A and B are shown apart, each in its own frame.
Chain A
Amino acid sequence: GENVEQHPSTLSVQEGDSAVIKCTYSDSASNYFPWYKQELGKRPQLIIDIRSNVGEKKDQRIAVTLNKTAKHFSLHITETQPEDSAVYFCAASTYGNTGKLIFGQGTTLQVKP
């Protein structure tokens, strides 16, 4: 079955710097890759997603890149702000249109003011 590995597990950056979180997946048939942000005590919330027919997607300070050949995708946050501090999860769809997602282990991002 699908397996998603996420790195790093923790990341600390200075306000204004960029942050990059990387994920690899095992199932070459996976075709949908969302990213979720979870603030302390809150629910995971979708921040950006990408499909396998696109190599890059950007939304203001957030961008996601996908390399299907290497089976990895990355989240890029530019000009980080203290409110970006949270746990970030990547996920990959499983084969077939079931809606099931396999989540990475999460990355705790700390943005220091």
Chain B
Amino acid sequence: DAGVIQSPRHEVTEMGQEVTLRCKPISGHNSLFWYRQTMMRGLELLIYFNNNVPIDDSGMPEDRFSAKMPNASFSTLKIQPSEPRDSAVYFCASSLVSGANQPQHFGDGTRLSIL
């Protein structure tokens, strides 16, 4: 099992640029979660999908953030335009939801730096 795969692992860009983070969940998992982690705010849930459908995006900080899941094996988180305060580690996680809650498995994260 390859686990949750995220790309890129590191991203450094200038403010105002568009940033796209990518995630491939574990095959067979039907729920996908995007988190942001900072020292100040800890681990924050941004948005999550069940069966490719966005269920709760209340954690998305602003309209500059958007997420899509066009199919069961791929999701993107986009920031446009990016700002220095968006600098953080962004994690994607997936789980299998069927009858009972199951653990979430995290990817290695994308460390984003906005200059």
Whether A103 lies near B43 (C-beta < 8 A) is: yes
Chain A contact residues (Cβ within 8 angstroms of B): what range?
20 to 34
Which residues of the partner chain B approach A36 to less than 8 Å between Cβ atoms? 106
Chain A residues within an 8 Å CB radius of B45: 100-101, 103
Q: Is the CB of A93 within 8 A of B101?
A: yes
Cβ of A25 within 8 Å of any chain B Cβ, yes or no, is no
Whether, in the assembled complex, A60 has its beta carbon less than 8 Å from a beta carbon of chain B, the answer is: no
The contact size tier of chain B is: 20 to 34
* Cross-chain contact B102 with A99 (CB below 8 angstroms): yes
Number of CB contacts from chain A to chain B under 8 A: 57
Question: Is B82 positioned at the interface, with any CB of A under 8 Å from its CB?
Answer: no
Residues of B within 8 A of A34 (CB): 103-104
Q: Which chain B residues have a beta carbon within 8 Å of chain A's beta carbons? A: 31, 33, 42-43, 45, 48, 50, 55-56, 91, 95, 97-109
- Interface residue ranges, A against B (CB under 8 Å): 31-32, 34, 36, 42-46, 49, 51, 89, 93, 97-101, 103, 105-106
24 contacts across the A-B interface (CB closer than 8 A): A34-B104, A36-B106, A42-B108, A43-B106, A43-B109, A44-B43, A44-B106, A46-B105, A97-B97, A97-B98, A97-B100, A98-B31, A99-B33, A99-B48, A99-B101, A99-B102, A100-B33, A100-B45, A100-B48, A100-B56, A101-B104, A103-B45, A106-B42, A106-B43
